[in-house]
C-alpha cells in the first residue's frame, strides 16, 4: 500500500505524472561520488520519500558498515527532482543516507550539508561553480580507443574548431539537455587534449552544484553510450596530454541579501577581492595538502599535478600552494573580474560533496582566524626552481596519493569535516587503493627491467 502523501509530495507526483514519468530513482553516492540507486514505480513515490529504499552498506565502496549492520535508507530531497532528459519516464532524486531514522554520519551529502549549516550560522551562503572537463572516446576494432574524430590529432588541439564540429551531434545534444534542466550553459569547447571537452554553466549554491555534477557525470556517460562512444572522467588518460580538471569557482554571499561578499572593486592588491575573500584563501592554503586528498582522489590524479606533462607545452594544473591574480600557475586564481576564487587543483574524479565540504571548512577557518595569504603572485610560478620556491616559503601539493592521504590523516580538519568514522574510512580506503597500485607490476616496469638485468 502506498504511503499517504503530503501536499508537497502530492503536487510533485502530479507534476511528474504530467511529464510522463513512470519511475523514480532514490539516488545517493558512494565514496567515489558515483550514483547508486533503487528504482520505484511512481505510485509508490510517497513511501520512497519517507525512506522506504534500504541499502546494504557493506556492498558499497566506502560505506562503513558490516554485513550484520542495519541497512541505510535513502531519504530523497524533493527539491532535487530531475527528469532524465534521455529517458523522460524516469526521475532522479539526490538523497541523504539515514541509519535508524537519523542522518548517517558517513553520508557524503550530509557531510556537505553540515558544513553549509556552519556557513549559514556565520551568515553565509556558499556559492560554487564547477568547470566540467571530460573525454569522449570511441573504441577501435583492435581494442584500443581514441578520439571520436579522425582529424582530432593536433599536437595543440585546444579550441580546435574541427574537432568541436566533428563532435557537434553529441555536444549539442548534451548542451540542450543541460539547458533544458535550467543549468544555463554559457560556453563549451574542445580542450587541450585530443578527445577532451569542457562545458561551463551557471553557478549555484554548493549543494545544488554538487548534485548537478553528480548528475552531469551520469548524463554524459549515458549520452555517450547512446552515440556509440564512451565518456571518461579519469583525470589523466594520457601521459603526454593534459588532464581533466573540475575547477571549483567559489564565493560567499550574504545569506539575507544574496550580495557577493568577495567583491571589492577598491581592493588595493589589485584582484578586486574583499578582505573576507583573502581570509578564505588563506584558510585553503593552510589546509591545501589535506584538501588535495579529496579534490584529487585517485592514484591517477597526481599524474595531472605535475610541472610539465603535455605535448602542448603546458600542464594547466597547479603544483604550488599559492594564490594569484588572473594567473593559471597558482593553485588558487582570482579571475580578472574578481569576486570569486578558483581552485585549479581539483580534478573531474572529485566527489563534489566531500571536496566542497573540505574546502569550505578550510575557508571558514581562515575567516574565523582572521588569516591573511600575503601578496598575490602575478608571475609564472613554473619559472622558479624548487630552491627559489623554498626560499619564498611556497610548498608543493602532494606528489602522490600516498602523500596526500598522509596529509589528510594528519590534519585535524579532516576529522572536523567528516567525523571520525568517515575520516578513518576515507583514509583506510585510499591507502588500500595506493597499496594495490604500488604492488601492481606495470607495462613500463616489464619493458624497462625484464631483459635489462
**Residues 174-226 pLDDT 10s:** 999 999 999 999 999 999 999 999 999 999 999 999 999 999 999 999 999 99
Class of domain 116-443: alpha beta
Q: What is the pLDDT of residue 294?
A: 98
CATH no. for 7-104: 3.10.20.70
Beta-carbon contacts of residue 334 (< 8 Å; ≥ 6 apart): 271, 272, 273, 277, 323, 324, 325, 326, 340, 341, 342, 376
Q: Which of 212, 288, 198 is nearest to 244 (CA)?
A: 198
Q: Measured between alpha carbons, how far is residue 375 from residues 104, 173, 316 in Å?
A: 42, 44, 22
Q: What is the pLDDT of residue 314?
A: 57
Q: Which of 137, 119, 138 is nearest to 128 (CA)?
A: 119
Q: What is the pLDDT of residue 1?
A: 45
Segments in the chain below pLDDT 70: 1-3, 308-315
The domain limits of the chain are 7-104, 116-443
Q: What is the pLDDT of residue 62?
A: 84
Q: What DSSP element (H or E) covers 136?
A: strand 132-139
**Residues 298-352 pLDDT 10s:** 999 999 998 765 555 556 788 999 999 988 899 999 999 999 999 999 999 999 9
Q: Is-contact 253 125, C-beta < 8 A?
A: yes
Amino acid at each position: 500500500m502506498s504511503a499517504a502523501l503530503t501536499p508537497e509530495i502530492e503536487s510533485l507526483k502530479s507534476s511528474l505524472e504530467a511529464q510522463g514519468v513512470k519511475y523514480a530513482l532514490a539516488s545517493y553516492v558512494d565514496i567515489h561520488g558515483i550514483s547508486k540507486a533503487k528504482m520505484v514505480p511512481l505510485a509508490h513515490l510517497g513511501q520512497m520519500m519517507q525512506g522506504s529504499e534500504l541499502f546494504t552498506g557493506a556492498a558499497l565502496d566506502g560505506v562503513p558498515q558490516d554485513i550484520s549492520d542495519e541497512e541505510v535508507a535513502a531519504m530523497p530531497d524533493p527539491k532535487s527532482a530531475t527528469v532524465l532528459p534521455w529517458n523522460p519516464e524516469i526521475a532522479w532524486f539526490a538523497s541523504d543516507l539515514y541509519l535508524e531514522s537519523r542522518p548517517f554520519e558517513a553520508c557524503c551529502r550530509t557531510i556537505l550539508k553540515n558544513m553549509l549549516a556552519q556557513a549559514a550560522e556565520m551568515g553565509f551562503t556558499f556559492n560554487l561553480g564547477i568547470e566540467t572537463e571530460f573525454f569522449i572516446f570511441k573504441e577501435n576494432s583492435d581494442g584500443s580507443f581514441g578520439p571520436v574524430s579522425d582529424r582530432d590529432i593536433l599536437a595543440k588541439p585546444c579550441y580546435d574548431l574541427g574537432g568541436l564540429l566533428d563532435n557537434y551531434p553529441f555536444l549539442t545534444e548534451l548542451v540542450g539537455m543541460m539547458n533544458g534542466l535550467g543549468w544555463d550553459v554559457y560556453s563549451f569547447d574542445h580542450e587541450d587534449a585530443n578527445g577532451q571537452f569542457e562545458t561551463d554553466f551557471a553557478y549555484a549554491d554548493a549543494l545544488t552544484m554538487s548534485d548537478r555534477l553528480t548528475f552531469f557525470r551520469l548524463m554524459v556517460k549515458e549520452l555517450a553510450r547512446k552515440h556509440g562512444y564512451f565518456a571518461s572522467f579519469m583525470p589523466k588518460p594520457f601521459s603526454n596530454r593534459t588532464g581533466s580538471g573540475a575547477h571549483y569557482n567559489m564565493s560567499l554571499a550574504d545569506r539575507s541579501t544574496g550580495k557577493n561578499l568577495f567583491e571589492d572593486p577598491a581592493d588595493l592588491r589589485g584582484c578586486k577581492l574583499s578582505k573576507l575573500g583573502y581570509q578564505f584563501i588563506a584558510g585553503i592554503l593552510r589546509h591545501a595538502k589535506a584538501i588535495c586528498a579529496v579534490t584529487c582522489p585517485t592514484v591517477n590524479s597526481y599524474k595531472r599535478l605535475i610541472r610539465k606533462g603535455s605535448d602542448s607545452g603546458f600542464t594547466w594544473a597547479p603544483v604550488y600552494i599559492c594564490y594569484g591574480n588572473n594567473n593559471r600557475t597558482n593553485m588558487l586564481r582570482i579571475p580578472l573580474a574578481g569576486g570569486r576564487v578558483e581552485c585549479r587543483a581539483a580534478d573531474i574524479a572529485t566527489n563534489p560533496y566531500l571536496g566542497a565540504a573540505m574546502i569550505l571548512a578550510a575557508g571558514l577557518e581562515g575567516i574565523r582566524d582572521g588569516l591573511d595569504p600575503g601578496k598575490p603572485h602575478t608571475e609564472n610560478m613554473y619559472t622558479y626552481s624548487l630552491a627559489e620556491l623554498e626560499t619564498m616559503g611556497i610548498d608543493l601539493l602532494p606528489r602522490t596519493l600516498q602523500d596526500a592521504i598522509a596529509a589528510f590523516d594528519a590534519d585535524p580538519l579532516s576529522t572536523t569535516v567528516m567525523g571520525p568514522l568517515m575520516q578513518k574510512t576515507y583514509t583506510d580506503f585510499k591507502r588500500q587503493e595506493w597499496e594495490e597500485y604500488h604492488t601492481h607490476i606495470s607495462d613500463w616496469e616489464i619493458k624497462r627491467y625484464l631483459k635489462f638485468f
